[in-house]
């Protein structure tokens, strides 16, 4: 399994907190169903196993035609828009992050489930606003929030990107760091000693860095 981790560190001049003292919120778990692909559509009668109940519940039918009901904080069906996912799932986390409160977004699913599309969209620099994924929307909202903050407030934004593969953590900004250790402390929480941190001054700067780094990820996916 290969996991790509984007990490934004945001420091706010007026508010410094230690690990364990942050305002903790509940974990939100959502499920998103993608539309059928062109290969799946001819067999739609056989491949569709989900029945919509409401925005929080669906019924799954297995190979034996046995049905089970599942409930989540939110269910995004195949007609859901990228903006719907962002508004419900990511926007509250971004607003907390702008106030120096930690937040995490994790996507999980099998190959072809739509994780990359949900996180990135067709591309990080996709011009079609409707198709933009969570990542470019998060970056934009962060800088918009900072620009609207109080004039006497100063922020520092740093970006790290690592790939977890075969139980090793690789720094995608410095490929020589291919076995970073995961540590924990009271003052910093979970952190990676020695991981490269890039200071970010604009949303375009972050987008360009991510695009370059994704190329390294693809390289290792093919040749490692």
Please give the pLDDT value at position 219: 46
Q: What is the pLDDT of residue 20?
A: 42
pLDDT at position 177: 93
Task: Give the CATH number, domain containing residue 24.
Answer: 3.40.850.10
**Per the annotation, does 20 bind a ligand?**
no
In a domain, 74, yes or no: yes
Does 103 map to a domain?
A: yes
In a domain, 77, yes or no: yes
- pLDDT value at residue 45: 64
Residue 192 maps to a domain: yes
* Domain annotation covers residue 44: no
Please check if 64 is assigned to a binding site: no
Residue 170 lies in a domain: yes
Per the structure, the count of domains in the chain is 1
Please tell me whether 111 is known to bind a ligand: yes
Residue 43 belongs to some domain of the structure: no
Q: Splitting the chain (224 residues) into consecutive groups of 10 residues, what average pLDDT does each group show?
A: 56 47 65 85 71 92 88 93 94 86 87 88 78 90 84 82 87 91 86 91 83 66 42
In a domain, residue 42? The reply is no
Instruction: For residue 103, give its domain range.
Output: 2-37+49-223
| 109 is an annotated ligand-binding site residue | yes
Three-state helix/strand/coil letters over the chain: CEEEEEEEEEEECCECCCCCCCCCCCCCCEEECCCCCCCCHHHHHHHCCEEECCCCEEEEECCCCCEEEEECCEEECCCCCHHHHHHHHHHHHHHHHCCCCCCCCCCCCCCCCCHHHHHHCCCCCCCCHHHCCHHHHHHHHHHHHHHCCCCCCCEEEEEEEEEEECCEEEECCCCCCCCECCEEECCCEEECCCCCCEECCCHHHHHHHHHHHHHHHHHHHHHC
Binding site annotation covers 154?
no
Residue 121 gets the label, from left (phi > 0), alpha (psi -120 to 50) or beta, of left
Residue 116 annotated as part of some ligand binding site: yes
């Amino acid at each position: 399994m290969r996991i790509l981790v984007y990490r934004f560190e945001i420091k706010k001049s007026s508010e410094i907190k230690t690990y364990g003292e942050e305002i903790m919120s509940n974990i939100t778990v959502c499920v998103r169903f993608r539309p059928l692909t062109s290969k799946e559509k001819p067999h739609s009668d056989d491949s569709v196993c989900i029945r919509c109940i409401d925005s929080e519940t669906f019924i799954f039918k297995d190979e034996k035609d046995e049905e089970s009901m599942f409930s989540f904080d939110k269910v995004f069906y195949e007609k859901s828009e990228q903006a719907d996912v962002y508004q419900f799932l990511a926007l509250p986390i971004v607003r907390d992050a702008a106030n120096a409160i930690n937040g995490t977004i994790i996507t999980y699913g099998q190959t072809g489930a739509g994780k990359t599309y949900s996180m990135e969209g067709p591309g990080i620099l996709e011009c079609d606003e409707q198709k933009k994924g969570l990542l470019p929307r998060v970056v934009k909202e962060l800088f918009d929030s900072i620009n609207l903050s109080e004039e006497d407030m100063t922020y520092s934004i740093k970006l790290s990107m690592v790939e977890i593969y075969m139980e090793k953590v690789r720094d995608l900004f410095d490929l020589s760091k291919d076995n970073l250790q995961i540590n924990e402390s009271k003052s910093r929480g979970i952190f990676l000693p020695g991981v490269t941190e890039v200071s970010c001054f604009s949303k375009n700067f972050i987008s360009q860095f991510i695009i370059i780094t994704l190329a390294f990820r693809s390289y290792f996916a093919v040749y490692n």
